[in-house]
Amino acid sequence: MTQPRTYRAVGLTLRKSPAGEADLIASLYSREHGKLDVLARGARRLTSKLMGHFEPLTLVRLSIARGRTLDIVAEAEVVNAFPDVKADYASVARGLHVAELIDGFSASSASNPQVLDLALQTLDAIGKQSPAATDDHSPDLPLRYFDLQLLQLSGFLPELYQCVECGDGLEPERHRFAAGAGGALCADCITPPEIVVRPLSLPALKVLRLLHRTESVDRLPQLNMPATVQREVHGILSETLQYWLDRQLRAQSFLDAAKLA
């Protein structure tokens, strides 16, 4: 049976790159088809009907025609442009962290609607935060929730309840963490020397378990986490994400640098 010549998709734009004189290639994560690369002909022209539809972090509804190498956008309609996320550069960097990770952890044509829902809920939560949110109210907690839940949906959730080496339950204050080993370790187990092991405090372990157990980003409690715990949780999740992606997290590095500036 031949495939229909056109199909529909609703997807979040992850990134775009210029192509030819006035075209662009947009990379989207769609509910129906997973990651899609599509060609938007003439979309960089000021008078193009497609202009403005493919900015990163925009949810679009598309009608797409199958092409020889790339599929071509026939029609586009913005569903949600997340204007609050794009209101200040720190929120933009947070939003792009979401896009970067979905891009890194998803494969072409492998659809997982839960990933898209998680991304959209996280972007909503980022947009609701005030730009003046202080460290006291853990402004990056929705991002940490996204990090952990994406690891779970991708099959890379670190073990948080028992030692990954011996399988025994973790005792309070006697645990460590190794992304390369797959999660938390008890104090007694010995890992191969090439695996980096870092300390894991009880408050950080509790926050990680809370992020794991919370049903949705809207239900995250307002936590007044000390800065040291925030840094520890951030470090553990970044290390785990970078271990599986095998590269640095660019948007997060930008955000960290912007906070220091």
- Applying CB under 8 A, does 130 fall inside the site for other proteins? no
Residue 52 binds other proteins, judged by CB under 8 A: yes
**Binds other proteins by CB under 8 A, chosen from 6, 10, 25, 51:** 51
> What is the CB neighbour count within 10 angstroms for residue 232?
22
Name the CA dihedral angle for 91, 107, 242, 155, rounded to a multiple of 10 degrees. 100
Write the binding mask 14 to 43 for other proteins: x where contact by CB under 8 A, - elsewhere.
-x----xx----------------------
Count the site residues for other proteins by CB under 8 A.
34
Site for other proteins in 215-254 (CB under 8 A): 250-251, 253-254
Query: Is 96 near other proteins (CB under 8 A)?
Result: yes
The one segment of 81-89, 110-118, 121-129, 171-179 that binds other proteins by CB under 8 A? 81-89
Asked if 143 interacts with other proteins (CB under 8 A), we say no
Return phi, psi of residue 91, to 5°: -65, -40
Phi, psi of 64 (to 5 degrees): -125, 135
| Owner of token pair 């509910």 | 31
Q: 227-245 vs 202-213: helix axis angle to the nearest 10? A: 60
Q: How far is the CB of 215 from other proteins (least distance, A)?
A: 29
Closest among 1, 2, 3 to 64, alpha carbons compared: 3
Burial of 197 (0-12, 13-18, 19+ CB in 10 A): middle
**Which parts of this chain interact with other proteins (CB under 8 A)?**
15, 20-21, 46-47, 49, 51-53, 55-58, 78, 81, 83, 86-89, 92-93, 96-97, 99-100, 250-251, 253-255, 257-258, 261
